[in-house]
Amino acid sequence: MSGPDPVTDPRLAPPHNPATQTAVSEDPPRLILASASPRRQLLLREAGYHFIIHPANIDEERYPVGYLPSDVAKFLAEAKADAVAAQFPNDIILAADTVVAFGDRLLGKPRDAADAKRMLELLSGTTHIVITGVAVQRKIANFRKSARVMSAVRMRQLFPNEIARYVASNEWEGKAGGYGIQDADPFVTRVSGSHRNIVGLPMTVTIQLLSEAGIAPPTREHI
């Protein structure tokens, strides 16, 4: 994507005021990614989309008590889309949230190195589920749809020195479950389901939702 960085460029248009907007604008809607994740940005760019980056500012630790991990992923994706759609009601907002489920136990992003170590020790030698919730909204057109995708991941047994070395590398930061399948040594031996879902954005579902919202896929090569 050429041109100024949409995250830092001061020329980014100020938020629309939904109270004063009563009809769909004649201007074509922009695609806004409500995420700072470089992995999601890369997947969208690989698919040929042009978009603006505007991360959602929500507390990812706040969700209804008793929700299963799959419910949490969908709830947080929708909450992120809600937050950004309120600022850009004429644009199409894409949001996602990825969690790891170990049984009914939810593993989100580690809070610190000790939390990352605890997660890796828990997942070592097990099969767990990676769940991504995807939400697409265009507030002024009353378009609001979401979905969730699940993939199974088998992790090999990890030695304590491997966990310590990985935690010291800080590669766990910002990654659900404390690891990334795209890492140099992701510890993963087998995957069932969408690989891109595990990275953080299941593209088949994402392309479908964006198409329904009015943004046709530029290419089908990376579905």
Query: Could you report the per-residue pLDDT of 33-84, keeping only the tens digit for each?
Result: 999 999 999 999 999 999 999 999 998 888 898 899 999 999 999 999 999 9
Alpha carbons 165 and 204: distance in angstroms, whole number: 35
Would you say residue 72 lies in a domain? yes
How many domains is the chain built from?
1
Query: For position 25, what pLDDT does the model report?
Result: 58
Lowest mean pLDDT among 32-46, 88-102, 113-127, 174-188: 174-188
The DSSP call for residue 18 is G
Would you say residue 7 lies in a domain? no
Q: Categorise residue 3: left if φ over 0, alpha if ψ from -120 to 50, beta otherwise.
A: left
Q: What is the CATH number of the domain that holds 42?
A: 3.90.950.10
Would you say residue 8 lies in a domain? no
Clarify whether 97 is annotated catalytic: yes
Q: Pick from 215, 218, 223, 12: which is nearest to 94 by CA? A: 215
Would you say residue 115 lies in a domain? yes
The catalytic residue among 59, 91, 97, 115 is 97
DSSP 3-state of 185 = coil
Look at the block and give the residue holding tokens 């099969």: 127
Task: Note whether 178 and 184 are within 8 A (CB).
Answer: no
Look at the block and give the residue holding tokens 């889309």: 81
Alpha carbons 130 and 70: distance in angstroms, whole number: 9
Query: For position 181, what pLDDT does the model report?
Result: 85
Would you say residue 87 lies in a domain? yes
Give the pTM.
0.81
Task: Note whether 152 and 138 are within 8 A (CB).
Answer: no
Would you say residue 79 lies in a domain? yes
Q: What rounded mean pLDDT belongs to the chain?
A: 86
Looking at mean pLDDT, say which of 27-31, 62-66, 84-88 comes out highest. Answer: 84-88
Would you say residue 100 lies in a domain? yes
Query: For position 219, what pLDDT does the model report?
Result: 62
Q: For residue 128, give its domain range.
A: 29-213
Task: Note whether 199 and 222 are within 8 A (CB).
Answer: no
Q: What are the residues whose beta carbons fall under 8 Å from the beta carbon of 77, sequence distance 6 or more?
A: 95, 96, 97, 132, 133, 134, 135, 146, 148
Query: For position 187, what pLDDT does the model report?
Result: 85
Would you say residue 158 lies in a domain? yes
